[in-house]
A and B are shown apart, each in its own frame.
Chain A
């Protein structure tokens, strides 16, 4: 698979990882090594990653988030392992309540990769209409 450029990281290349089952398309240890993951997993509803090997930087992630899905910068919270960061790997946690419903739905609809766990979607969206 050729390494894509940052600008080609369309929303479909974002992977949403269930917070405890983890996506089948990504090895658990790929992200489970994130130091703050264990403590923060209750609040995290998604981790944003890119497949891009050469440009896997925080700056790049913000660019992707901002330009391709219109996610506000402030809604992204860093959650990284220095070791991985050193090697230019990144993952970003998107906290619930900070993402507008329509943006979240857009992310979820645009996902082309991954087997998303309905649990994650339920946790992310909550009960939209009650009763």
Chain B
């Protein structure tokens, strides 16, 4: 399963309702912006362009189509709005809700984003996407050029990074040092003593 498929499946499983293609693109985008802000990289790894209705990635629909009929369901419904195009609604097949390829951190991030957008209409989601730095940047450029810059790629480098998280990730320790190893041994020994005391020995 590709990253986009894993993220899409997780989002649709946890979203609790079906999502249209544009709505799903916004959810992907907001998750990726939040991830970039905190960790300096997107979760899905997809590239977004400036489309008529905000950020959009062609890969999302293409990749998710491959899961159609297995983990995902795609329905075509008549449009309720002014558009003459039928609406495509995505939803997760319930049996697929078991396990995800995403790490606990990624799952937590998706859940937090979904929690923030809970109850929002697709239009409100769109407004939210327009408030992100990459979209604000492109809107600024459009103003200067006095024309819409459709199909232009969105640059995530415009996203303002979370300073604390940036430092935290930089200083995150990986290998256990000799001194820490000694401390582990110390705690092990200490615990053994406690167990003996608890057993009344």
Contact = CB atoms under 8 A, between A and B. Distances in A.
Contacts of A83: 198
B183 interface: yes
Q: Which residue, B104, B129, B167, has most C-beta atoms of chain A within 10 A? A: B104
B150 interface: no
Interface in A28-75: 29-30, 53
Interface residues of B, number: 40
Contact of A87 (B160, B180, B186, B197): B197
A59 to B, nearest CB: 20
B180 A25 contact: yes
Give the bracket for the number of chain A residues in contact with chain B: 20 to 34
Contact of B168 (A25, A29, A108, A130): A108
A125 B164 contact: yes
Contacts of B151: none
Contacts of A99: none
B165 A121 contact: yes
B183 A131 contact: no
Interface string B20-45: 00000000001001100111000000
Nearest to B129: A131
B113 A24 contact: no
A131 B194 contact: no
A27 B132 contact: no
A25 B169 contact: no
Nearest to B168: A121
Interface stretch (A4-12, A90-98, A110-118): A110-118
B109 interface: yes
Contacts of A109: 164, 167-168
Given A25-B180, A83-B198, A116-B172, A130 B186 contact: no
Contacts of A29: 191
B184 to A, nearest CB: 6
Given A122-B108, A131-B33, A115 B173 contact: yes
A24 B129 CA distance: 39
Given A20-B104, A118-B172, A129-B160, 16 more contacts: A25-B187, A27-B187, A27-B191, A105-B164, A116-B172, A119-B108, A121-B168, A122-B105, A125-B164, A127-B34, A127-B38, A127-B112, A128-B164, A129-B162, A131-B128, A131-B132
**Leading 7 A-B pairs by shortest Cβ distance:** A131-B132, A119-B104, A119-B105, A131-B131, A1-B186, A127-B112, A127-B34
